[in-house]
Chains A and B, each alone.
Chain A
Amino acid sequence: MKRVTILFFALVFAFCETYAQQREISLGTKVGHNVVFGNYSALSVAGSYTHNHWGVRGGGEYNNIGRIATELRPAYYRDCRIGRLSGELLLHYSKQSQVAYSAFGAGASLDTKHLWVTFGYYHRTIAISGESLQEPFNFYYEAGIRCLPNQERWKLDVIFSNSRMFELERHYQPTYTIEGGWSPSERVGIDLSINYKPAGMFHMSSNYYQFYTKVGVCYRW
Chain B
Amino acid sequence: MLQMVRWFFCVGCAAILCTGCDVLDIKGMFVPTSDMVNTRFEESMELTEGKAIAHIEAEESYLLYVCADTHIDDSYNNLREFTTRMRNNPEAPFGIMLGDCIDRRNVLPRYLEGIEHDAESQPYNTPIFSVLGNHDLFFSGWENFVELIGPSVYWFEVEYGSGRDLYITLDSASGTLDKQQMEWLEEFLTTERAKYRHCIVLKHTNLFYPDNSQHTSGNMTLEESAVIFEMFSKHNVTLCLQGHDHTREDLTFGGVRYTIVGTIREEAEQPEYLVISVSDSGVEYEWNYL
Q: Which of A64-86 contact B (CB under 8 A)?
A: 67
Pairwise interchain contact A199-B208, C-beta atoms closer than 8 A: no
Q: Which residues of B contact A197 (CB under 8 A)?
A: 221
Question: Which secondary structure dominates where chain B touches chain A?
Answer: loop
Residue of B whose beta carbon sits closest to that of A204: B218
Report if B227 contacts A (CB, 8 A): yes
**B218 neighbours in A (Cβ, 8 Å):** 172-173, 200-204
User: B223 contacts A96, CB within 8 Å?
Assistant: yes
B230 → chain A closest CB, angstroms: 6
Question: CB within 8 A of B175: which of A97, A135, A204?
Answer: A204
Query: Are the C-beta atoms of A207 and B226 separated by less than 8 Å?
Result: no
Nearest A-chain residue to B251, judged by Cβ:
A133
Pair count A-B, CB < 8 A: 144
Chain A residues touching B, range: 35 or more
Are the CB atoms of B217 and A172 closer together than 8 Å?
A: yes
Q: Is B36 an interface residue (CB 8 A)?
A: yes
A138 CA to B222 CA in the complex, in Å? 12
Of the candidates A96, A101, A129, A207, the one whose C-beta lies within 8 Å of that of B178 is A207
A154 to B56, CA, bound (A): 66
Closest Cβ of chain A to B183, distance in Å, is: 10
Asked if B1 lies at the interface with its beta carbon under 8 angstroms from chain A, I say yes
**Residue among B178, B208, B211, B216 with most chain A CB within 10 A:** B178
Collect the chain B residues with CB atoms within 8 Å of residue A168's CB: 222
Interface residues in B, total, Cβ within 8 A: 49
Determine if B134 is an interface residue (Cβ-Cβ < 8 Å). yes
B253 A128 Cβ-Cβ under 8 A: yes
**In the complex, what residues of B have CB within 8 A of residue A67's CB?**
223
Alpha-carbon separation in the docked complex, A134 to B212 (Å): 12
Shortest Cβ distance from A167 into chain B, in angstroms? Answer: 9
Instruction: Check A207–B176 contact: CB distance below 8 A.
Output: yes
Chain A interface, DSSP helix/strand/loop, else mixed: strand
Contact B223 A128 (CB under 8 A): no
Taking a contact as CB atoms closer than 8 A, the residue among A135, A202, A206 that contacts B210 in the complex is: A135
Q: Select A202's contact among B179, B217, B251, beta carbons within 8 Å.
A: B217
Assess the A133–B32 pair: CB atoms within 8 A: no
CA distance A168 to B230 in the complex (A): 19
Whether A199 contacts B174 in the complex (CB less than 8 A), given A172-B219, A205-B35, A206-B30, comes out as yes
A201 and B30 form a contact (CB under 8 A): yes
**B233 located at the interface, meaning its Cβ lies under 8 Å from any Cβ of chain A in the complex:** yes
Residues of B within 8 A of A202 (CB): 29, 216-218
Question: In whole angstroms, what is the CA distance A128 to B218 when docked?
Answer: 23
A35 at the interface (CB under 8 A from B): yes
> Hey, which bits of chain B sit against chain A, CB under 8 A?
1, 4, 11, 24-25, 28-33, 35-37, 134, 137-138, 173-176, 178-179, 182, 205, 208-212, 215-224, 226-227, 229-230, 233, 251, 253-255
Identify the A interface with B (CB < 8 A): 34-36, 38, 67, 96-99, 101, 121, 126, 128-129, 131, 133-139, 168-173, 197-210
Kindly list the 6 A-B residue pairs having the minimum CB-CB distance in the complex, ordered from nearest. Answer: A200-B175, A207-B174, A199-B176, A137-B212, A202-B218, A205-B137
